[in-house]
Amino acid sequence: MADKMKITVQRYRPEQDQGPWDQSFEVEYTRETSLLEALNQIKDTQEPTLSFRWSCRMAICGSCGMMVNGVPKLACKTFLRDYAGQEMRIEPLANFPIERDLVVDLSDFIEKLERIKPYIIPKKDEPQPGEQREYIQTPAQLEKYRQFSMCINCGICYAACPQYKINKEFLGPAALTLIYRYNEDSRDGGKEERMKLVNQDTGVWSCSFVGYCSECCPKGVDPASAIQLGKVESAKDYLISMFKKGE
């Protein structure tokens, strides 16, 4: 019971192409065929030079983000059966430079992730890294950030974000979500440092709450929520700083 699907893939080979062009393929699929499997099938049997990133096949590595009919999705979590009767058009993740075929240059996103210090910074009066220490956290404290820690850094929210599309300086959904995630962690003491990034023009206030990042996030992280909560924190931070002298 193998149905057929026409998949059009946007190609780009930097060594010989001036710009992207389309190539169509016909693939057979069953109920279980994911887009990632279909692409591998194309690579194995039809077009060996087709390039795309993938690794885990189970929506945890965040490598295979791409545009499916204009919507950013993980190829491994997208099934051909859901497009039965239609055609599929695959493009590299939007808002990032295309390196080759479906491979994009995510270095801007990675740099932003590093910039926000996405790790627990010990509080000043507590044991520093290397010193022995047991962290205790209640379920309620965990719940404050748990959802926002589910991010797999796939970059799909950046492809969904119109603000990032028009302003690459914007820290973007995933980075701002991670800031909120670490700031709300009861073990963390780095909030003051990170709030500087949140309060900047390129921080939460560059977000105009389109909300498409949350619509597209394959892990239900809801970055738009974290950013709005970040705006609340930023506003409180501003108010408190008005009463602090010498800063």
Catalog residues that contact another protein under the rule CB under 8 A. 12, 14-15, 19-20, 70, 94, 97-99, 105, 138-140, 143-144, 147, 162, 165-166, 208-212, 214-215, 222, 224-225, 228-229, 231-232
Which 8-state DSSP code applies to residue 206?
A: G
Name 187's Cβ contacts closer than 8 Å, sequence gap at least 6. Answer: 120, 122, 135, 137
Report how far residue 46's alpha carbon sits from residue 109's, in angstroms, rounded to the nearest whole number: 32
Q: Are 130 and 40 in contact (CB under 8 A)?
A: no
Q: Which of 57, 89 has the CB closer to another protein?
A: 89
Of 116, 90, 105, which is closest to residue 14 (Cα–Cα)? 105
**Closest CB 2 distance from another protein, rounded Å:** 32
Strand partners, 67: 72, 91
Q: Which of 14, 127 has the CB closer to another protein?
A: 14
Of 190, 181, 183, which is closest to residue 146 (Cα–Cα)? 181
Q: Which of 29, 170 has the CB closer to another protein?
A: 170
**Closest CB 58 distance from another protein, rounded Å:** 25
Report how far residue 102's alpha carbon sits from residue 100's, in angstroms, rounded to the nearest whole number: 6
90's tokens: 């695959």
* Number of C-beta neighbours around residue 4 at 10 A: 9
Q: Which of 27, 221 has the CB closer to another protein?
A: 221
Q: Which of 188, 222 has the CB closer to another protein?
A: 222
Q: Which of 47, 99 has the CB closer to another protein?
A: 99
**Closest CB 11 distance from another protein, rounded Å:** 11
**Closest CB 136 distance from another protein, rounded Å:** 15
**Closest CB 124 distance from another protein, rounded Å:** 27
Report how far residue 149's alpha carbon sits from residue 181's, in angstroms, rounded to the nearest whole number: 6
**Closest CB 67 distance from another protein, rounded Å:** 11
**Closest CB 179 distance from another protein, rounded Å:** 15
Going from the C-alpha of 224 to that of each of 6, 212, 234, the distances in angstroms are: 34, 8, 15
166's tokens: 């028009």
Q: Which of 12, 29 has the CB closer to another protein?
A: 12
Say how far residue 121 (Cα) sits from the centre of its chain: 23
